[in-house]
A and B are shown apart, each in its own frame.
Chain A
């Protein structure tokens, strides 16, 4: 899986309450989550996420298991999230809905293009190539299938 988009820089320890607040969870309409994604961090952020690569500090997505957090980011158009580490439930949730997460330490410059190639194992920004921690074989399969729903549809 490959992609390229402008970097959106975020701090460390972004919890899933901050990604999508509890007051927006009670719906199945994913566009509601996309509209309000990261609203309590920066209310101007949501419209800028289309096609973007989030480059965040450590422990992105810690806290609650709410999968709406991963959906909110995907539906807002985020194409990948790069961080040194992730909350582990969020990690599984994102891969399970086909949103690539990349463990790598990267200095972020707002708006600078970031390219990634998961199978080749690198991220590239400002002319520098950085190694990434590879996904497990199973996670890679799930991601390549487009998510866990698609994975199980194909495996039955």
Chain B
């Protein structure tokens, strides 16, 4: 029997195939180069059957004149073309795609490595560079090597303060940053059905941090309910036993709050073991942990208290921001002394809005803690929303007691 990647791509692991791309998207960072390459390819042509998207999230709003000029050019192109365009403030490209644009069984390609997040729908979703994207604009197709798959078998339920983020850090820690290079992850087992879509997004999102090409869940009733809420009716995918190149087992009951320490995502320690590290900034947001359920959890944990360190909270999309305003979640976060940023990637990439100074330390809910990423000479620790809340309240890394 076939893995889910093999079923979607219609060929066996190891084969090379050309496939139509159902959804293709770029952001303001990669879109500029994609547009250059597309123009150089010398034809004013676009694939007819592909849904194309341009979303401004990386430096949104622009931080200086140069960025603004590059964005102006891309924005003009987006408006002239038939592409779906989401301007500054709409949100992170992956989150916008997750708000009703991607269906199970589709092939989605984004010019950003965290495109793998959309594997949570049972889609084959992977990142490419700008020139590959230009060719997808031109033809609506691209080539793939069908990946071997690693099975991540989940049992049990998350308990206490543990979150899907802790499980994600646990599996990246176990696989290592290149543990699944050229391969796909498939999340399977009875533990999956207890996981919400938001939790699945986190697990799929981190798969690229283990080098994986994709991180897939089979679409089940949880997926279908979520899609229905976003106006999409579709059918699920049945798991068939298949052969994985490797299998890892995780009992969710055993997962405890974890932290990735600088400068590698796969250097993972229990939050307890790094408690007391003094912090200069806490950042809650990104395509990993900037969803409504994350903001609501954070608000619940800081409500009626005051944070002891500067704390930036950036919703992943305008829809999330609007809901957080409507439900009072945002008011609780602001009352606790946090600052709210424009929906988008925020300071995750070290471009703007929260860049760290030399020697500063940040606890972030993002997915990367590479050296100098958020600022030259700064350090990034990665953790869950509950860890971020517990840490923000004391101004140093703290292991959360409740989630």
Contact = CB atoms under 8 A, between A and B. Distances in A.
Nearest to A148: B131
Contacts of B373: 17, 22
B129 A85 contact: no
B242 interface: no
B157 interface: no
Interface string B206-244: 001001010000000000000000000000000000000
18 contacts: A13-B177, A15-B370, A17-B372, A17-B373, A22-B351, A28-B36, A62-B178, A63-B208, A65-B127, A65-B128, A67-B130, A70-B129, A85-B182, A96-B131, A136-B16, A149-B131, A152-B135, A156-B41
Contacts of A87: 181, 211
Nearest to A29: B66
Given A17-B373, A149-B134, A68 B181 contact: no
A128 interface: no
Nearest to B127: A65
A4 interface: no
Contact of B211 (A26, A59, A70, A97): A59
Interface residues of A, number: 41
B314 interface: no
Interface of B: 16, 29-30, 32-33, 36-37, 40-43, 59, 64, 66-67, 70, 111-113, 127-132, 134-135, 138-139, 143, 145, 177-178, 181-182, 208, 211, 213, 264, 349-351, 368, 370-373, 376
A92 B129 contact: yes
Contacts of B351: 22-23, 25-26
Contacts of A23: 350-351, 376
A13 B267 CA distance: 13
Contacts of B32: 28
A40 B371 contact: yes
Contact of A63 (B33, B64, B370): B370
A149 B37 contact: yes
A21 interface: yes
A88 B70 contact: no
A27 B182 contact: no
Contacts of A59: 177-178, 181, 211
Interface string A43-66: 000000000000000110011111
Contacts of B36: 28
Contacts of B211: 59, 62, 87-88
A104 interface: no
